[in-house]
Chains A and B, each alone.
Chain A
Amino acid sequence: MSERGVAVAGIGIHPFGRHEGQSGLDLAVTAARVALADAGLRWGEMDFAVGGSDAAGKPDTMVARLGLTGVPFTNVINGCATGGAALRTARDAIMSGAHDIGLVVGFDKHPRGAFDPRPQDWGLGAWYGDLGLMLTTQYFGVKIQRYMHEHGLSATSLARVAAKAFRNGERNPAAWRRKPLTEAEILASPLVADPLTQYMFCSPSAGAVALVLCRADLATRFGAPPVYLRAVSMRSRRFGSFEVFSPSLPTDRGPSPTQEASRAAYEESGLGPGDFDLVQVQDTESGAELMHLAECGLCEHGEQEQLMETGATEIGGRLPVNTDGGCIASGEPIGASGLRQVYETVLQLRGRAGERQVTGARTGFTHVYGAPGISACAVLSR
């Protein structure tokens, strides 16, 4: 770890869900004010800000609400990895020595139903959408189908992941779906993209998260127990990785951006898969959680069923995964999800996660994945 470090001085969330009558920006302003209050700081004390949103407008327009201080405010957009990319941008602004303290905010608000991106925005011809291929759900179905073929996982495992998400969500006041569902109910819900059913998928929702980041040596000045951001990494795809919105893919497999970003975070932090008290990984659907655990090196490929059978991924288990209910229980406001994972980790490392507290948590890991093949990971410690 380099000498100059970064800490999280304040955290704020606007609960995830459907919020009629409020814009995504409204939620973001709320989250920003909560994070500033948590740090005991004013907006005018921010040296810089970074904001990410995929579909809810330009983040920097919130200066009109928070106050026109002239602060440099950078907008970031990287699909479902937007929150991770915003975090990295903000972290780097402090690591570079350019700034000492700043706000990073991620938010979104999406209409009901599956995302309906335009092919032209993703470097694809209109024909791709015309024929009905412009759906992220298809990618997740195809990827887990192949993975189950190669590693022998069962549909019950997929249901088990979702059941855990709803159980954890029940204990999280900021989650959207807080009603536990049985594995049988999850398996019996309508198929969305075989073998994945409705309750194995997250749904687009609305929400916002903000963090105040500061130079590590300043961290003890603020009210909350400091949590240190030991690494933030980000990678786009390499040749051979299988990614969403791909009209073709090479049959020679290469490392995924998740594999590469996680390894970079381990290297930078000096911590590895065996060192974490809890982890948050992108669970756009149940299969993604299982595959990302292995891609991050947190278990072996094919070992996931055994992990779940022994309760390892539950709160109280050896490696609690998605302790706040993840995307499955929180819903997916694209720009907010990456920062939600960091919010949850900070809350846990402060020992203030209430009913879902992982006892004695000192270290955590977060992972986001987004189209068209981006991953961002972070390592945090007390």
Chain B
Amino acid sequence: MGPYLGFINRNTVLHRLDPVLKLVALCAVAVGVLIYSSWSVNALVLIVLIVMFRVAKTRIGLASKRVKFLLFFSIFLVLLQVLVTPNGTVLFYVLPGPALPVTTFGLERGLFLALRFLLIVFSSILFVSVTDPSLLAQGLTRLGVPYRYSFMLVVALRFLPLFESENQSVRLAQKSRGIEPDVRSLSGILRTVRYTFFPLLVSALSRVDSLAMSMDGRGFGFAKKRTFVRRSTWSTADTLFSALVFGYLIMCVLLASGFIGLY
């Protein structure tokens, strides 16, 4: 397992930002990279993102398996694009012949796709690690989402670590009974899935009643509104950050529609 993926409470500017604003910013990054495609803008945003990781005192975890996989995957994306894109100025050929040209356009396209991928993934990782789900639920409720729904997020996140540990126990139990994961045939795969899925499902279902009784037994749904002891407060940092997010979005729209040009 890599480092714990989820909210880690630290007292930094990014942690203190309004959770709903952070959600909006996350969406803005995704929209921005999707509507305007340029490797240079993407690279700039990625640098900003890396700085934000530093500010949030959150480790990217370059050594972890998860991040290594992401990096390898993006390098693969670059290589794939470079090899399959023939148009553009030819830089050199991979094979003598000449075959498989490496072109400027292919390189740009590869870089832009890989950066887009990294941006979306890393911004999500950052969002998850600096956003307190309970505060996000409170924020969404403030915006008019009924708390029955916004609270689902909190409950789901609460049970994630539990399912992870149950998954481990099921694997140990499988091993103890001599059940090896079998991926050689379709029936083997189906059996492996069933042997893993059934025990986990039964275990999860057995908790549902208990959880529902525990929540209803504490007045969940008692009234339309509820008190939130912990709430986020809007600060100057929030105003500045929203200006930044808004500015970025406008820039992307203008670039995409051709009102302004980069070069």
Q: Are the chains A and B members of one assembly? A: no
